[in-house]
Structure 1
């Protein structure tokens, strides 16, 4: 990968295609998301958590039941209104320029970069085009989320809200699946919160975020529906 900083003069005519697929990391049954994305994500996708080898906890959306399976992809497009910022960023990254300010870089080896049918990055008379504005927003969300997600997830764990589970999913005649090594928000523990812990989580917005993550598990029914359709086909 060759990441270089975008330049509104040298790259004035550069176009980038908006495409999804295995080559771009979309064919995964788990993709990371930030807590700030929970409100949008929970409307369509189940939110689960995993603990890394170093003990950090990260949030993910569950997209499929087999490794490398995203049931919310149709060809090179997502079928959901919500797409994780991790994927919305496309072939771009955020870096620090010589003056310390954040700059957008592009992976010029990515096959989506430089194609004639792509979207422009800059307006004809200067300034970011809508697609680059969209990319900047996704990159900023990821950068800001990375600074806060560890503390948020640690706070939930300390409050006893994260519970290790094995999700058992029944597909009837098509068999069943187990999704292991995940954590979910414990709804009983959430309902039992009281006193200073409840007040703190409510005051900093983490109570609402935990509630949304817990409610998102109802979307597993949609996963079952899509998987059943796929297996039937």
Structure 2
């Protein structure tokens, strides 16, 4: 990877393709998201959690039942309205310039960069083209999400709202799956919150985040439907 800062003069004609592929990280059955994305994600995808090294927590969207399986891809395009910011950013990253201001960098080695069928980054008469404006917003969302993620997930954990689960999925004659090492929102404990804990979580917006993550589990049925159709094909 070779990241360099975009320049609206030198890169005035640069185009970048918007497409998904295994080598871009899209072919995964779990992709990380930030709590700031829960509202959009929960409409279409199940939100689960995992503990990493040092018991650190991360939130993920569940996209498939087999490793490397994203049931929401059709060729090189996502079929969902929601795409996690970590994938939506494409071959771009946010860095600090010499003056301390945030600047957008692009990976010049990424095969999407310079593609003739790609989206322009700059308007003909100056300024960001719509695609680059979208990228900037996504990169800032990622930066904001990374800053707040640890504290939000630690608060949900401290409130006792996360429980370890094994998702058992029966596909009938096609067999079944057991997805382990996952955590989900404990809906019984969520419904039973009261007093100071309830007030605190409501005041800082975490109650809403927990409620959305809990509601998202209804989307597991859609995963099963897509997996059944895929196996039948």
TM range (shorter): over 0.9
Structure 1 residue aligned with 2:134:
134
Q: Distance in 1 between matches of 2:57 and 2:159?
A: 14
> What are structure 1's unaligned runs of at least 5 residues?
none
Structure 1 residue aligned with 2:66:
66
Q: Distance in 2 between matches of 1:35 and 1:120?
A: 31
Structure 2 residue aligned with 1:43:
43
Large movers: runs of 4+ above 3 Å: none
User: Are 1:211 and 2:215 an aligned pair?
Assistant: no
Per-residue deviation, 1:54: 1.9
SS in structure 1 at match of 2:222: helix
Structure 1 residue aligned with 2:78:
78
SS in structure 1 at match of 2:53: coil
Per-residue deviation, 1:173: 1.1
Per-residue deviation, 1:53: 1.1
> TM-score by structure 2 length?
0.99
Structure 2 residue aligned with 1:143:
143
Structure 1 residue aligned with 2:189:
189
Structure 2 residue aligned with 1:169:
169
Per-residue deviation, 1:31: 0.4
SS in structure 1 at match of 2:165: strand
> TM-score by structure 1 length?
0.99
Per-residue deviation, 1:148: 0.5
Per-residue deviation, 1:57: 0.4
Q: How many residues align?
A: 233
Per-residue deviation, 1:66: 0.4
> What are structure 2's unaligned runs of at least 5 residues?
none
